[in-house]
Structure 1
Amino acid sequence: MKRAAFLLALAALSTGCGLRPVYGGGTSGATATFLSSVAVQPIAGGRTGWLMRAALADRLGETEGNERYRLEVEVDDDLTGFGIRGDTAVTRERRTIRARYRLVDNATGQVVLDATAGSDAGIDVVSSDVATLAAEQTAAERLTQVVADQIVGRLSLYANRTPVR
């Protein structure tokens, strides 16, 4: 009896916690509508910039003609060797991708969100140059996906916390 009363009281308290789903309403919800109104600008940075733009465009589901906001992104891709052996050969590398992004309201030109995202990965340097290069490229592909997820997650929170104008 006491246990049932405790669970009932706990259930009553949890309903007033104020949590609500970010993607409530599915594809017609406020967050999804907001994300589809963001146009990703071209991103400098060669292959990494191209990968980042493709990942963001895929996640945002941008549509032509419905661009209330524009997303400006600057990508920094760094590959650093460490784990140096006695003969000065590098045995391990770290690839780091950082992105500074700004969400700009097209109507006013005002920057409404300015933030950064980033991730890194370790890469073993092996005797085969081809294998090492493939590992570096795979790391770049994976890291751009991770950083794009971080950016879209932050944009979703912004959309969820900002009243619709």
Structure 2
Amino acid sequence: MPLAGCGLQPLYAGGGSGVVARDIGAVAVSPIGGKAGYLVRNAVIDRLGAAGQSTARWRLDVRLDEKLTGMIVQPDNSVSRERSVMRARYQLVDLSSGAILLDTTADADAGIDVVSSEYAVIAAEQTAQENLAKDVANQIVIRVATRLRQLEAAGHRP
């Protein structure tokens, strides 16, 4: 069955001049505290293409929570595997009305092997944090783009 027959349209239909590409550049991302916040915010901005392209019509507010816990504890009480979890609660706010257009969460987790080299463990934790930030940012941008597309289809324009 052809896609046109089912009503399915690509999110980025129209390419660079399409609705989503046009609107997504008008999302301002509020500062997010901490190193992980810095990583998530920059990844979101990169994916939005919002680096000063147009006047903001929406604001994205993100609250980030990170947790690093020991998953596997050995008989000598040492940890041999950690779990790193990053969770973002975010809201898309219409700047003209103050209405919250999207209020949801994104999360990602990674397992980290704890080895005898402290440097290797620190490097693995940092790499996990960077990867989780990218993962969370991707989820946020997809949801924001989808919501902007839904608003456009419903005729809700600021």
Distance in 2, Cα, partners of 1:86 & 1:63: 51
Q: Give the TM-score normalised by structure 1.
A: 0.89
RMSD of aligned alpha carbons: 1.2
Confirm or deny: 8 A CA contact 1:23 1:29 kept in the other structure.
yes
Distance in 2, Cα, partners of 1:15 & 1:78: 44
2:143 is aligned to: 154
Distance in 1, Cα, partners of 2:149 & 2:60: 17
Q: Alpha-carbon deviation of 1:85?
A: 0.5
Opposite residue 142 of structure 1, the aligned amino acid is N
Which consecutive unaligned segments of at least 5 residues does structure 2 have?
A: none
Opposite residue 58 of structure 1, the aligned amino acid is D
**In structure 1, which of residues 49, 56, 77 is the aligned counterpart of residue 37 of structure 2?**
49
Distance in 1, Cα, partners of 2:94 & 2:51: 16
Distance in 2, Cα, partners of 1:28 & 1:15: 20
Distance in 2, Cα, partners of 1:101 & 1:27: 26
Confirm or deny: 8 A CA contact 1:37 1:63 kept in the other structure.
no
- What is the 5 A alignment of 1:52-131? 52-64=40-52, 66-131=55-120
**Equivalent residue of 2:5, what SS?**
coil
1:7 is aligned to: none
Opposite residue 55 of structure 1, the aligned amino acid is A
Q: What is the aligned residue count?
A: 153
Return structure 1 stretches of 4+ with deviation > 3 angstroms. none
**In structure 2, which of residues 28, 31, 39 is the aligned counterpart of residue 39 of structure 1?**
28
2:126 is aligned to: 137
Greater mean alpha carbon deviation, residues 142-151 or residues 60-69: 60-69
Confirm or deny: 8 A CA contact 1:35 1:61 kept in the other structure.
yes
Which consecutive unaligned segments of at least 5 residues does structure 1 have?
A: 1-9
Opposite residue 60 of structure 1, the aligned amino acid is L
Distance in 2, Cα, partners of 1:72 & 1:15: 36
**Equivalent residue of 2:148, what SS?**
helix
1:19-71 Cα deviation digits (max 9, x unpaired): 01110111111001111000000002x11010011101101111435100000
Q: Give the TM-score normalised by structure 2.
A: 0.93
1:101-154 Cα deviation digits (max 9, x unpaired): 000011111111101000000000000000000000000000100110001111
Distance in 1, Cα, partners of 2:125 & 2:105: 23
State which structure, 1 or 2, has the greater radius of gyration over its C-alpha atoms: 1
**Equivalent residue of 1:83, what SS?**
strand
Opposite residue 121 of structure 1, the aligned amino acid is A
